[in-house]
Amino acid sequence: MLIFILRRIGQMIATMIALTFIVFYMVNLPGNLEKLAKTEGNMRMTDEEVQNWLEAEGFTRPFLSRYVEWMVGTAQGDMGYSRVFRKPVSEVVGERLGHTGILMFWVMIVMVPMSLIIGILAGMREGTALDRGLSVGSIASTSAPEYVTGIIFTVIFASWFGVLAKEVSWWPDWLVFKGIAKAGSVNFWNFTLPVMTMAIYGMGYIARLTRASMVEVMTSQYIRTARLKGLNFRTVVLKHALRNALITPFTVIMLQFPWLLTGVVVVEAMFNYKGFGFILVQASGNNDIDLLLAISWVAVIVVLLTQLISDIGYAYLNPRIRVK
Amino acid sequence: MPEYIGTGEIILQSITRFWPTWLAIGVTLAVAYPIRERLGVFGRLYGSWIGLAGVVIVLFWVFTAIFADLIAVMGPLEQSFSPGMKKGAPGIIDGQNGIIFLWGGDNLARDIFSRVVHGCRVVLIVAPAATLIAYMVGSTLGLPAGYFRGWSDAISSFLANLILAFPVILLFYLLVTPEVRTPIDVNLGFFTIPWSIPIGMAALFFMFPIVFLCTMWFTKYESNKRKLITYLAVTLVLGLWIYSGLVFSSDPFGVIKMDPNTLNVFAAVILGSSPGVYRIVRGLTMDIMTRDYVAAAQTRGERPWYIMLWEILPNARGPLIVDFCLRIGYTTILLGTLGFFGLGLQPESPDWGSMINHGRPFVRLATTAHLALFPALALMSLVLGLNLLADGLREESLKD
């Protein structure tokens, strides 16, 4: 087990170095640097002035040494200075990650239990009307990416409900949601739509996997034995089937994090929620090199850590792998 | 004051305006029904409601793309200059020429219905084409990785995992920003080609179909020299002609060219989806490797590449077809994501992602919500159709 974890960590570090190197290379392309010089200095700089500016700011030093410096700095917590926010990058990223953390927390709270319940109900009795209905529902939810559900939800629950609340006397005032979520002051009305938007897309996927895994377990020998010895269906599902059926969904939920990152960017841009995804858009739009590097660093770390946890968790939950 | 038609009328006309599509779907299903036995797994879709629903939705958009010029009442960029047409509500009638904007007008007084229909053509060309190339890239790398294993497998798997670990959205932002994609002219001595990172990537990816096909002919017709030379010549001439036109826009006849933005989108989408294909092809290869017919071919002394391309790949087609349908849907979503962030095709392009992006600021007002709503619904229904089709195909192929 220890060797397994160590090997995974070794792979992880290699991946991280490769990925950060690519990002570092891309943001330091001549075009990007020139744009940076012009936004920092003035738009009418001549090529020579641009070159002088870059030299003064230290962008012309050898590429590799700058990369190593950046890596060492980042590992020590000094991520540089954000030129857009005029603040140290670590401050910006820390604050925004907190906002996104709240969003992710509620997404997980909504998404995981609901998708597991849907998957288990559908997979418990394969081929029934309930199974068919839930499966089609899951397919539909995976077909609508965040930017589609976000639009549809905003139109229905914010715009149309808002009109209804004004025009229909019996329409309760509390049943109007907000299409904008302000980071730092979230409540039920402005947070429901972003959370639902993010949760729906992942839900169908996890539910389908849970269903498939549940169907497989329910047709296995030991479940038949349990049924034949006279246990009732409820006990068999809850005590015998669930444990084994949840191994696959667990790993998949962990692997959902990188996917959720794209969702975070879309949802935060759509609902104006100023979190981690929002600064990604701002940083790339303004070519804020230090911030962009820090964001990719955090994103890559999150992705690799979840992969590691998922691997270890899978080995832990499934004894057959552990023995090997 | 502009006049409007009622909701019932809007729904009715939304259905009747698609008449060429409905006709074509009806003809296709009617023609295919008697010969369904010969259509393999596609024929068996008649027996599954989910699969049939998927086929109908996918066919709907395919035929809409084909007959877009018949269905759309205006061009994708054509504006109306009558008063009140800007952001006009669904069902608004243009006072000057009597054209009804069934799904309303956008902020530049263009007909959203026509734009969605024209956008369908864009989406249905880019998404399947990009998926197909991603498949060629993924198979060309995945087959030997699964077949030989060893160090080449280790390297390509590491690369695939690298791309998969990269957050897609960050990748897009890094690749498709104007600073990275603006091509610089590189002089190669006798002629100049435009060069940038996305063009370089496209140059690499678009090479794969040619290499893939050439390898196929080489392995199959090794003993039949005349056939081999004919096939190779046709592939190389056609392939390299298209290649030079698409990638470097230096087609000597000036017929084939691709807009640089579209090329970037292709490169980004192919890069995003080929690692997935690689993994599934590699997994299937390792699975099929254990079959007897592969052992038989090895004993016959067939070359490894013959076995990969003519024994393993055809026998992996079942799961691959299902995955292909799913992946077109996924590519459509990726394409939409690019459009949503304004990184996609040209800003005025009627592809659905860009339309959603343009309509996005207006969704919070009920009177202007239609700007983004209709392209969003269109995109969702196409992906839903593809997913249902994939599910139906999977169910039917599992019955074997």
| pLDDT tens, position by position, A162-187 | 888 888 888 887 778 887 877 777 78
Check CB contact under 8 Å for A180 and B363.
no
**What is the model's pLDDT at position A90?**
86
Minimal-distance CA residue of chain B relative to A304: B165
Report the pLDDT averaged over residues B233-254: 83
Q: Which of A23, A155, A304 sits opposite B165 (nearest CB)?
A: A304
pLDDT tens per residue, range B9-35:
889 988 999 999 999 999 998 998 888
Q: pLDDT band at B44, cuts 50/70/90?
A: confident
Q: Which of the four pLDDT bands, split at 50, 70 and 90, describes residue B346?
A: confident
Closest by CA position to B11, among listed B120, B113, B117: B113
pLDDT digits (tens, 9 = 90+) for A252-298: 777 777 777 888 899 998 898 888 888 888 888 777 888 888 888 88
Contact B58, B392 (CB under 8 A): no
Nearest C-alpha of chain B: how many angstroms from A14? 9
φ and ψ at A301, to 5 degrees?
-60, -45
User: Measuring CA to CA, which residue among B31, B57, B35 is closest to residue B389?
Assistant: B57
What sign for the dihedral angle of Cα B325, A122, A199, A270? positive
Q: What is the mean pLDDT of chain A?
A: 84
Stretch A204-230: mean pLDDT? 89
Contacts of B53 (CB under 8 A, 6+ apart): B385, B388, B392
- Which of B50, B112, B162, B170 best probes binding to A when mutated, by most A CB atoms within 10 angstroms? B170
Backbone angles phi, psi at B195, to 5 degrees: -140, 135
Any residues with CB less than 8 A from the CB of B104 and at least 6 apart, and which? Answer: B87, B88, B89, B90, B91, B92, B112, B370, B371, B374
Query: Quick check: B165 and A140 CB within 8 A?
Result: no
Helices A188-218 and A89-124 cross at an angle (nearest 10°) of 50
What's the whole-number mean pLDDT along residues B166-179?
77
How would residue A321 be classed by pLDDT, with cut points 50, 70 and 90? low
Give the integer Cα–Cα distance in Å for A36 and A29: 11
**Domains assigned to chain A:** 2-78 (no CATH), 93-285 (1.10.3720.10)
Distance from the A74 Cα atom to the nearest Cα atom in chain B, whole angstroms:
19
* Residues of chain A contacting B158 with CB distance shorter than 8 Å: 11, 14-15
Kindly state the average pLDDT of the residues B126-155.
92
Give the largest CA-CA distance in chain B: 82
Among B166, B365, B384, select the one facing A19 at the smallest CB separation.
Answer: B166
Q: Is B116 helix (H, G, I), strand (E, B) or coil?
A: helix
Q: Give the residue on B whose Cα is nearest the Cα of A255.
A: B165
Instruction: Give the burial class of A46: count Cβ atoms within 10 A of its Cβ; 0-12 exposed, 13-18 middle, 19 or more buried.
Output: exposed
Q: Which residue type occupies B30?
A: A
Mean model confidence pLDDT for chain B? 87
- Report the pLDDT value the prediction gives residue A149, as an integer from 0 to 100: 92
Per residue in A119-148, pLDDT (tens digit) is 999 988 888 889 889 988 999 998 999 999
Q: Give A30-77 pLDDT, tens digit per residue.
A: 777 777 777 777 777 777 888 888 887 777 788 888 888 888 888 887
Q: Which of A45, A29, A36 is nearest to A84 (CA)?
A: A36
Least confident stretch, A33-47, B33-47, B96-110 = A33-47
The count of residues in chain A is 324
pLDDT at residue B254 above 80?
Answer: no
State yes or no: pLDDT of B175 exceeds 80.
Answer: no
Residue A245 CB burial class (10 angstroms; 0-12, 13-18, ≥19): buried
- Give A-chain residues touching B169 at CB under 8 angstroms: 261-262, 265-266, 277, 280
Is the pLDDT confidence value at A323 over 60? no
Find chain B residues with C-beta within 8 A of A258's C-beta: 164-165, 167
Q: Which of A31, A266, A307 sits opposite B182 (nearest CB)?
A: A31
Alpha-carbon separation of residue B129 from A144, B265, B288 (angstroms)? 21, 12, 27
- For residue A229, the distance in angstroms to the closest alpha carbon of chain B comes to 31
pTM: 0.90
Q: How far is B364 from chain A (nearest CA, A)?
A: 5
Q: Which of B149-158, B192-201, B354-363 has the lowest mean pLDDT?
A: B192-201
Question: pLDDT band at B179, cuts 50/70/90?
Answer: low
pLDDT of amino acid B135: 94
Percent of chain B whose pLDDT exceeds 70: 97
| Alpha-carbon gap, residue B163 to B171, rounded angstroms | 9
Query: In angstroms, what separates the C-alpha of A231 from chain B's closest C-alpha?
Result: 31
Q: Which residues of B touch A23 (CB under 8 A)?
A: 170, 174
A160/B162 Cβ within 8 A: no
Nearest CA in chain B to A15: B162
What does the alpha-carbon distance between residue A304 and residue A18 come to, in Å, rounded to a whole number?
13
pLDDT at B280: 92
Amino acid at A241: A
Task: Compute the count of residue pairs across chains A and B with CB atoms less than 8 Å apart.
Answer: 140
The closest alpha carbon to A149, from A118, A195, A181, A109, belongs to: A195
In chain B, the domains with their CATH numbers are 3-119+358-397 (no CATH), 124-329 (1.10.3720)
Predicted confidence band of residue A91 (pLDDT cuts 50, 70, 90): confident
Quick one: pLDDT at residue B400? 61
pLDDT at A324: 46
Take residue A22 and report the two structure tokens written for it.
């690519």
Rounded Cα–Cα distance for residues B349 and A79 (Å): 39
B301 Cα distance to chain centroid: 38
Query: How distant is the Cα of A42 from the closest Cα of chain B, in angstroms?
Result: 17
Q: Which residues of chain B make contact with A21, given a CB cutoff of 8 A? A: none
| Mean predicted confidence (pLDDT) in B290-312 | 91
